[in-house]
Amino acid sequence: MSTTEETPVVEKAANFIRNIVTDDLKNGKHKSIVTRFPPEPNGYLHIGHAKSICLNFGLARDFGGRCHLRFDDTNPAKEDIEYEDSIKENVKWLGFDWGEHMYYASNYFEKFYQYALVLIEKGLAYVDSSSADEIRAMRGTLNEAGKESPYRSRSVAENLDLFARMRAGEFEDGTQVLRLKIDMASPNINLRDPVIYRIKKVDHHRTGDAWCIYPMYDYAHCISDAIEGITHSICTLEFEDHRPLYDWVLDQLPVPCHPQQIEFARLNLNYTVMSKRKLLELVQEKLVDGWDDPRMPTLVGIRRRGFTSESIRAFCETIGVGKSDSLIDMSILEDAVREDLNVRAPRAMSVLRPLKVVIEGYPEGQTEEFEAANHPNNPDMGSRMVPFSGTVYIERDDFQEEPVKGFFRMAPGKEVRLRYAYIVKCESVVKDEKGEIVEVRCSYDPASRGGSAPDGRKIKGTIHWVSADHAVDAEVRLYDRLFSTPNPGGKNEPDYRTSLNPKSIEVLKGCKLEPSLASATIEDRFQFERLGYFCLDMKDSRPEAPVFNRTATLRDSWSEQKR
């Protein structure tokens, strides 16, 4: 993103971070802003990361600055190039581009090391030979001060020697760490001599075996920000207590600048989990079909389900940026994609639970075509021709042998309109040996072509259909919320797995789709009339065997259930 010296007019909704940036530019603290999105490549991004991406890249875009993509690749034991590639793809999918400003914390390993030497030489860091359990015990609690390590008084010369030997690989994992020397009695536990380097004899996916010591996040992150000239280091609220450490490290070192850390409330979404650990467990325990399962809150899953990048950006704009954690209702996310797809998705007729309808009296072997609008409110989207024959499929729910009060669809002796086609009347039904209806036989009014009664009689019901001779057979997957309770793993539910929704997916085979859908592509989105919004599954769908995913229903069925 290009940088300009003048502050553009910002049209987005104001929030406290935008106010800070506006003031900083107005009073000359910065000529332009530089933000960053710093993911660790140890998993797939989820909807919570989308909020951070939209915030950081959006601020840079709206204020004429730039946003860096920086991989926090300081823990090689958990990182993989697969995650890195996915992160880059999803940032671009959301509509953002870092241009030439992609960086890696591993680019700065030597600088991190040299800065650590500065801290040792200033008597502000020391090598601790205590075990991890001993260090944990010495750290104290929120109500009890920590205890100083017996190695805290080592000389500068001894610490320099030990740290060099750590780098050279002389010690085993867990036997030595480098700690800052701050204040073991600080009420902020993060300032109680935090560990900034540990030994990990693991090859790094970018630096290979060049290093066997790796910096901790709190140390590497603030220095990376300073090296890159970040002006506003925006992170979530759990790092608020880490800010004094962020500032302390930068205050002790000859870094190029001192960025300002600003915290905002992370995105918490109900009916799902956002913890990387829990998401990994769902995948590893095969409770879902991988990271890209359309029920997952991962961006790869949401994208596979059919959500558009525009709807995700709109959702992030809707929920805003605040300082207090809150639980966002899943319906807000679903409404965002409904609103987007209602405008852009062409309509199509599809029958998910088919019931055969034979139209008696219709000329045998005859085929007609009816013009159908691609969008009822947008003539510019044009129309398509839908074939019609003497046998069609309708939704099984659109027929009742003994109709309840207020049912205006197909029933014995009643007329109903087949959308775009003819008015038909159920004359009889055919049942199998179990007594289940397998076929409906109807008469039709040849003069009602196009769906209008020539004598002006009113037809209350209109249903969709698909010609049996022209139907495209497909599998359709109906997705719902992954969990059946709003806060899985909450206070009254120690194991989040217990609230997995057994009805979170329903697979329907033998669905009948209108033939225009045979040419659908992965990028296309459709409204299946009266059924919801659907897209081709980007993983399992094949031209000879299409698979469609339901992105969202037409209405919020969960809220309706509550009413």
Residues with catalytic function: 40, 266, 276
Tokens encoding 87 = 């992160």
Compute CA distances 351 → 131, 168, 354, 448, 541, whole Å.
64, 67, 6, 23, 18
Question: How far does Cα 407 stand from its chain's mean position?
Answer: 39
Phi-psi region of 532 (alpha: psi -120 to 50; beta: other; left: phi over 0): left
* Cα separation, 530 vs 455, whole angstroms: 28
Q: What is the DSSP string of 200-255?
A: ----BTTTBTS-SEEE-HHHHHHHHHHHHT-SEEEEEGGGGGGHHHHHHHHHHS--
Residue in this structure with the two tokens 């581009």, named with its chain if needed: 97
Assess contact for 84 and 227: CB atoms under 8 A.
no
Q: Please choose, from the candidates 11, 54, 5, 3, the residue with its C-alpha nearest in 3D space to the C-alpha of residue 25.
A: 5
Assess contact for 552 and 479: CB atoms under 8 A.
no
Q: How many residues does the chain have?
A: 563
* Cα separation, 53 vs 262, whole angstroms: 15
Q: Please choose, from the candidates 107, 125, 19, 109, the residue with its C-alpha nearest in 3D space to the C-alpha of residue 62.
A: 19
* Cα separation, 162 vs 124, whole angstroms: 15
DSSP 483: B
* Cα separation, 38 vs 103, whole angstroms: 9
> Residue 407's CB: how many other CB atoms inside 10 A?
15
**Cα maximum dimension of the chain:** 103
Task: Compute φ and ψ for 430, nearest 5 degrees.
Answer: -115, 130
DSSP 297: S
* Cα separation, 553 vs 560, whole angstroms: 12
DSSP 147: -
* Cα separation, 58 vs 499, whole angstroms: 36
Compute CA distances 360 → 334, 355, 523, 541, whole Å.
43, 16, 40, 36
Phi-psi region of 487 (alpha: psi -120 to 50; beta: other; left: phi over 0): beta
